[in-house]
Amino acid sequence: MYLEARFGTRWCLSPEQSLSLHAGNWTVPGQLAARSPRAGNKVTKLPHGTSLLELRIALPAAADRKEEQGLRLFSVESALIACSPNYFSNNATDVRAVLPMIRDASGLLARLLEGGHSVIAGRLAGAFRNIGRDRIADDIVKTMTAAGYAVRENDPFTDKPSLVIGTRETSPYVNRLRLLWQKMREPVIERFPKAPGAPRNVEAYLKRVNDAYVTDAYHSLSIEGSQVTPALIERVRSGTWNPEADEGDREQRNAMAARGYWQAFQAVQKSLGNILKGENPGEVADADHGTWYRELFAPSVTVGLLKPADLAGYCNGQVYIRKSMHVPLNRDALRDAMPAFFDLLREEPDPAVRVVLGHFIFVYIHPYGWQRPRRALPDEHDDSVGRIPVEGHSGNRPQRLLERSRKSECRRGYRALRGLPRRAGEKTTGGRALAGGAESFARRRTLRQFSICRECACTSCRERFQT
């Protein structure tokens, strides 16, 4: 590692970057700031528009440092004291995810009293009161006052969250998911039309879903890079695909992908039927998503293209997304995050929020290491409220719009999406930002959910998205 080779063990990341990592935000930053007594106070440019800033600053005491996944960080308490005041307002989600990790004020007070940090004490007291931790805020103010310091409490945040995180919830990953969900749900509700409700004729609706299978499978498999045709998809569905008798069928990876998609599609249809009978969509997704995953990849395991261990479930190692700055959650964090994710789906009353944020957060977590299972989740929640994607077009087969109504749907989809950012941290038209690096996936999927064909999204609409 570069910093280790340069400075040995005499380095650590900045308090701001340390807090982001403690909060579970492992997105690759545009600039990484590192401290070392031997640093050259210079910027080193790195690939993909990133850079490393070396700062010649004394390191915190050994008790105020910790090592995590090979990175030397400030501890949570020391980072909260050493970070800049602007960090609280500019990275509110990260700070609010970290603050509940502090169970009592003793660790902070020892450092505040030792350094005589009365101004910082007022800022931290205001921060804890902002998230509903009044007892810790009072302890900081009263103890510093008793020690002879004049403390003026000051809220460093620019807003007060509507979400109150439970006192027993100390996982920063769970806190971060809940904060992201709460932050983004209102912009989604504002920009999406009111849901039409569940279909009256369930049987006719399920038939429409089944009729759209070939088109849906073609687009989803093409996005994943499988070389499929509508004819191959139909052959797999009809049963004329025979891997036991046909060597070509047995060895064709694309056919395995198509077969898995067909099996998963049937499993999702069954789940959808349960939802249309009145079951909670979040509970159904929680109970059935493992089945969708197994059906999706079982054919590839059967013929030896994948290992049987690949059907085990959630990832057992760190997953990285090619060409993405976003780093999905680690193995240990998954065990906390996935139950919290399904709780959010289960508790969410608005179907549009379940569709958009259910997909966004699932990809943000990336529990399986494969991207295909994520497609079933928005479809299931979308269909449960009476919406279904109409036939679209693939990017490598541009076609003209066949119906005038599709143009109006495109305009409706554009209005719904114009407020969503294109990159991590980009401001929306409403002044909000979606954190993380997975928003491009949610954006593409939402385009499909509102029946915007790829031809339109690549021509006239693209110009409007970029303005």
Q: 247: number of CA atoms within 13 Å, CB side?
A: 0
Q: What is the pTM of this model?
A: 0.63
Query: Distance (Å, rounded) from C-alpha 73 to C-alpha 23?
Result: 12
Q: Which of 415, 441, 257 is nearest to 358 (CA)?
A: 441
Q: Which two tokens stand for residue 463?
A: 């110009």
> Which pLDDT score is estimated for 428?
44
What's the pLDDT score for residue 188?
A: 92
As given in the structure block, the two tokens for residue 450 are 């509102």
- CATH fold of 174-465: Fic-like fold (1.10.3290)
Cα(3)–Cα(87) distance, rounded to whole angstroms?
24
- Output the pLDDT for position 246: 66
Report CA dihedral (89, 94, 100, 105) to the nearest 10 degrees: -60
- CA torsion through residues 267, 272, 278, 283, sign: positive
Q: Which two tokens stand for residue 60?
A: 């915190």
Mean pLDDT of 69-80: 94
Task: Give helix then strand counts, H and E, for the chain.
Answer: 22, 6
**Window from 128-137, 294-303, 339-348, 354-363 with minimum mean pLDDT:** 294-303
Q: Kind and range of the H or E element at 13?
A: strand 12-13
Q: What is the pLDDT of residue 71?
A: 92
Nearest to 83 by CA among 98, 104, 66: 98
Coil, helix or strand for 10? Answer: coil
Cite the residue boundaries of each domain of the chain with CATH code 1.10.3290.10: 174-465
Q: Is the pLDDT of residue 422 over 70?
A: no
Instruction: Please give the Cα distance from 454 to 130 (Å, whole number).
Output: 45
